[in-house]
A = this chain, B = another copy of it.
Amino acid sequence: MDIRDIARLSGYSVGTVSRVLNDHPGVSVRARERVLEVVREVGYEPNTNARHLKMRGRASFAIMVKGMQNLLFNDIIEKAEGLFAEADEEARVHFVDEDADEVARAAHLDKIRHPKGFLFLGGDPNNFRGSFDQIGVPCVLLTNTAEGWGLTGLSSFSTDDEAAAEAVIDHLWECGHRRIGVLGGNRKVSEVSEHRLAGVVRAFEAHGARFDVDRWYEPCRFSMGAGYEAAMRLLERADDLTAVFAFGDVIALGALRAATDRGFRVPLDISLVGFDGVDVSQYSVPRLTTVRQDAGLLARRGVEALLAATRGKDARAVHESVPFRLLRRESVLSLLPASTASAVGVEGGRS
């Protein structure tokens, strides 16, 4: 069953059939109706290979996801898929290993698959510097800012990681915490961790103190297992900590387990803060105080920008940050005698 059959059955030529199928102008109402009738009758579906061969590729969008453990990415994928579907566009998600080269992989896909554009969830600047120039279609990076990478044609939407980390430290500081451990992604491959760490350092300075990186910072991947191990190392090394700030909820959950295993009650003996505001963080015992990244907005801004770029509306790359929110829940204890704890949430982010 191909377009010629439809042409024959409807009494029109393949050209006309193709035109109604693609909603091109210049087809009589009669022809359109007749063709659609036949199409419906026989359940005809055009062959996408042939179609794209002619239309020079540009099939769908590709969502490149770095790692499968990051629950925040799950939320973003879900939203983004919906958004693409609304815009009547196809999107394919490709998972790439946390330490694999997502950009090289995308460059390869670009060659063989000709997607209309790429949406990156997470990304390593080194990889981008390495092979981004081999990608010829619009790209958007999410959760990471690409500002200052010097890459034209790459827009990015992210949380202001530095400000968010500062807000966390400020909150902890207000609650009387001074010795704060930090659990974070590997600085070499995770720029977000770099930014969050910078925020931590800056916040300490703002309070006239100094963050002891060597002693208080323990890098790790974004998984519960890694968070658990890292927390164990950190707690071993610095047993006088009153609080721990993890650069991901998933890490925080691993740390919660580790703290418990070492006999610390959270938050009674040690306070804990996460990052991301992923679903689980609200069901843990205790509920996790965390920075909520706006997955929905991140997805929306990213998809919109990508769509606009592929439609040639605006070629200029933009770098925006999306508001975050410090969710004060149960995992932080105030060390102060009578806490005049401020209201409910700290918001942040410039756009």
A residues 176-199 with Cβ under 8 Å of B? Answer: none
Give me the interface of A with B, judged by CB distance under 8 Å. Answer: 43, 45-50, 52-53, 57, 59, 68, 74, 77-78, 81, 92-93, 95, 108, 111-114, 223-225, 228, 253-254, 256-257, 260, 279-280, 283-285, 287
In contact, A256 and B285 (Cβ under 8 angstroms): yes
Contacts A50-B53, A112-B48 given; does A224 touch B280 at CB 8 Å: yes
Chain A contact residues: helix, strand, loop or mixed: helix
Count of identical protomers in the assembly: 2
A279 interface neighbour in B48, B224, B285, Cβ under 8 Å: B224
| Of the residues B95, B112, B279, B285, contact of A81 by C-beta under 8 Å | B95
Q: CA A113 – CA B108 in complex, angstroms?
A: 20
Chain B residues closer than 8 Å to A47, beta-carbon distance: 53, 57, 112
Give Cα distance in the complex from A92 to B113, angstroms: 13
* The 7 nearest A-B residue pairs measured at CB: A257-B283, A49-B53, A45-B111, A49-B52, A224-B283, A49-B49, A45-B112
* Pairwise interchain contact B253-A283, C-beta atoms closer than 8 A: yes
Whether the pair A95, B77 counts as a contact (CB closer than 8 A) is yes
Known pairs A49-B50, A228-B283, A257-B287 / 8 extra A-B pairs, C-beta < 8 Å? A46-B112, A47-B53, A47-B112, A48-B112, A68-B77, A225-B283, A254-B283, A284-B285
CB-contact partner of A92 in B46, B74, B92, B280, under 8 A: B92
> Across the interface, which residues of B come within 8 angstroms of A108, CB to CB?
45
